[in-house]
Chain A
Amino acid sequence: MDILSNLALGFGVAVTLQNLAYCFIGVFLGTLIGVLPGIGPVATVAMLLPLTFNLNPATAMIMLAGIYYGAQYGGSTTAILVNIPGESSSVVTTIDGHAMAKQGRAGPALGIAAIASFVAGSIATLVVALFSPPLAEIALKFQPADYFSLMVFGLVGAVVLARGSIRKAVAMVVLGLLLGLVGSDVNSGVIRFTFGIPALAEGISFAALAMGMFGVAEVIYNLEQRAAERQVVVGGIGRVMPSLADLRQCIWSVARGTGLGSLLGILPGGGALLSSFAAYTVEKKVARAPKNFGDGDIRGVAAPEAANNAGAQTSFIPMLTLGVPSNPTMALMIGALMIQGIQPGPQAMLQRPELFWGIVASMWIGNLFLLLLNLPLVGLWVRLLAVPYRLLFPAILMFCCIGVYSINNNPFDLFQLVVFSALGYVLLKLGCEPAPLILGLVLGPMMEEYLRRALLISLGDPMVLITSPLSAAFLMAALALLVSIAIPAIRTQREVAMKE
């Protein structure tokens, strides 16, 4: 019954007029910045952080948290409508979501994204409320070897993301890994492939690469088409709400996405990032009739959207219970608490229960706000696509530039945007997909870091990768996935050969 009194305390904090207002401001801003390509939650939280200086800590956290999970909702909108992932978590949503938009089903795609996010967000918040301390313990048990093997699993999964040729997907993953090498090496401190440019010391800008490869490359590609064919939405706007059949089809996808997202979200160090990729991969493997994936399958939107929202909620667990940030936005939120003179951690939870439970309660309220805010807006967003392309594309380019620049306030990042736009266009022409490349870029450096750390701690003994049960399990799963990808590919090749 402890939990009930705690929740009562939490709702007592969250349902004051001031906190409701800030919660709404948070999720509203979150949706907005999620929709604007480029400007992500990291930049927004960073910009708004000073404003929280004079708020009380619970109010500040409620607003900042709202921005974070609100952006997960909004991010799907741009991914679906204009094929730009604002955050790494919405990269997979572009695959089937944008395909749906091109088929004139932007409405149902946005609708299911909002519904899946709401369901997943609500369930994951329950997970946060009920299981925070034990889940935090699990997160602490994860060793470098386990992380490494999880990343290996993720990379093998990246190949499954590909719509067409597996060979091209592998090539893209490898290219992503190579780009991930740029920057300083965490162990020796050696600076690699930066050509003396200090801004590259921290590696290639994810935002510049994602905006360039997806958004700007797509714009260039579209401009090539004749004006008449340039319409992003083919054949009118279509119905906005998903049909009952759509919803029924998605129930299990949302459930699986929520489960995976909730679990991976608690891992500090890249878990949350993997959740939407993992959900998509799993969906493509277990769903019935998976051949539509990549061509606008609604389950390909529902599962990753559920996963990234669930992950967004549960990534608060390590932050609130241990003071460990699971991603850059969480690190900023810890910063926000520290500015208030609060050190997040187990003590903060015991000494300031109103803070922890107030945030938890506000997440339900915030998710409800988001659903109410997003479903009616779907029609509006979809109508945005009817705007003539000559007006739409300069806006997209402008927001991409603002977004990329706002992260570090560094003009060099805009040069990166230009380079990756050109590269993205070439790859688009070659029929190579950027999603596996992005996963390679994001996972590569982490994989290297964890592997080298695992070996450093084991004094160079590679057996740690197998002797740790978690690590061994992930490696086995990766192997199984690899075989399941390879066998059909080999079979079709043989069939082709036999026909000849």
Chain B
Amino acid sequence: MRMALGALSAALITCSLATSGAQAQSPADGYPNKPIRIVVPFAPGGIVDTSARVIGNELSKRWGQQVVVENRPGGNGFIGVMATVKAPADGYTLLMAHTGEFGVNPAIFPDVPYDLDRDLVPITMITEAPMVVVVNGTLPIKTMQELLATAKAKPGAVGVSTPGTGSINHLVLEWMNLNTGVKFLHVPYRGGAPAITATAGGEVPAGKAALGSAMPHIKSGRVRVLAVTTAERSFVDKSWPTLIESGIPDVRSSIWAGLFAPKSVPQPIIEKLYGEIAKILQMPEVKERFAAGGGTPGGMRPEAFAAAIRQEAASLKKVAVAANVKPE
């Protein structure tokens, strides 16, 4: 499958090179000639909204067209995604979404109104940030192994805060439970900020948080990082081990934000968007913006991005089924 995709993309690149030489008429030639709308299925603030604004701001500077971010929060992201799916596929309505809409929702909801392959085209990943496993700073627990040992001694009694039932953080916690045979107590909150505050204040001993939301409490020493959830260590602090290095096999996950378009947007427009955004993601000030929240810039090609999402969705689905995670 991946080879076929590679061949296809190579063909497309050759194709686009050929056409640019021949100055042929393409749907991308006049694009954009009116304002572009980026739908964000969340309230302003946070990784997805920030991604949309950073990219939108740069695109409008480069293309001389306004890029408007439209926040359509609610309904687990269904409302915002469906607003994009139903919009005209002309490249003037785009969607900034994250792990939750395409990795988590299909894993935990019996009926998701959209389907990635049927309704949307991924353009590229904008940014990706690790989650961290943290403990309250006053506890004597210094490593992931010690946390696992504590939980093993008291099954189901060591609390881990997450931003909610059915959040990516929750799924990764269940994944850890499955692959280690240790049972943590899941303590869900409403949102990342209250969850990490609970661990910082000592209400819950441990937490599974996005690196960005945990950052202020990590710096003040209220929480201690035991591991990052990504396959590689984070640039923020190279001394934090990954979960896999800490002896938890296979568990790797991240929180990413990416740009999507409705399914039948002409390929040249997708390529034009991808090309410009890939350049934007290389800008030092853009990298810096994402780095502040522990994120690294994305920029992978549309096909690679689609494949990565599919792979992630498949692993999360297995976890959700095995752990019987129900949606919130």
Q: Which residues of A contact B (CB under 8 A)?
A: 46, 49-50, 53-54, 140-144, 184-191, 198-199, 201-202, 268-269, 322-325, 328, 331-332, 334-336, 338-339, 341-348, 408-410, 449, 453, 456-457, 459
Q: List 17 A-B contacts (CB under 8 A).
A: A46-B44, A50-B44, A53-B57, A140-B201, A143-B203, A185-B328, A190-B326, A199-B79, A201-B76, A331-B193, A335-B46, A339-B44, A341-B292, A342-B292, A343-B292, A457-B187, A459-B156
Residue from A46, A50, A201, A339 in contact with B43 in the complex, judged by beta carbons closer than 8 Å = A46
Task: Say if the beta carbon of B143 comes within 8 Å of chain A.
Answer: no
| Nearest CB of chain A from residue B162's CB, rounded to whole Å | 11
In whole angstroms, what is the CA distance A269 to B288 when docked? 32
Instruction: Give the most central of B43, B164, B194: most A CB within 10 Å.
Output: B43
Q: Which residues of B contact A331 (CB under 8 A)?
A: 43, 45, 191, 193
Asked whether B74 lies within 8 Å of A408 as measured between CB atoms, the reply is: yes
Besides A141-B201, A202-B75, A339-B53, 10 more A-B contacts (Cβ < 8 Å) are A46-B43, A186-B328, A188-B165, A201-B75, A323-B193, A331-B45, A334-B193, A335-B49, A338-B292, A345-B219
Q: Which residues of B contact A54 (CB under 8 A)?
A: 57
Closest CB-CB distance, B160 to chain A, in whole Å? 11
| A201-B74 contact in complex given A332-B44, A347-B216, C-beta closer than 8 Å | yes
Q: Residue B91 at the A interface, CB < 8 A?
A: no
Cross-chain contact A269 with B194 (CB below 8 angstroms) = yes
Kindly identify which residue among B53, B75, B76 contacts A50, using a CB–CB cutoff of 8 Å. Answer: B53
Q: Does B217 contact A (CB under 8 A)?
A: yes
Segment among B65-73, B122-130, B225-233, B257-265 that sits at the interface with chain A: B65-73
Residues of A within 8 A of B79 (CB): 198-199, 408, 410
Give the docked Cα–Cα distance between A202 and B220 (Å). 33
Across the interface, name the chain B residue whose C-beta is closest to A140.
B201
Contact with A along B229-250 (1 / 0, CB 8 A): 0000000000000000000000
> Which range contains the number of B residues in contact with the other chain?
35 or more
B249: min CB distance to chain A, Å: 27
Which residues on the A side are within 8 Å of B114 (C-beta)? none
Closest partner residue, chain B, to A187 (CB atom) = B188
Question: What chain A residues lie within 8 Å of B190 (beta carbons)?
Answer: 186, 449
Option from A269, A324, A328, A343 in Cβ contact (under 8 Å) with B212: A343
Distance, CA A342 to CA B292, complexed state (A): 7
> When the two chains form their complex, are residues A457 and B204 in contact, meaning their CB atoms are under 8 A apart?
yes
CA distance A336 to B43 in the complex (A): 11
Kindly supply a per-residue 1/0 record for chain B positions 55-90, scoring 1 wherever the CB is within 8 Å of any chain A CB and 0 otherwise.
001000000000001111111101100000000000
Chain B hits for A341, CB < 8 A: 288-289, 292
Q: Is A410 a contact partner of B187 (Cβ separation < 8 A)?
A: no
For B325, the chain A residues whose CB sits under 8 A away are 189
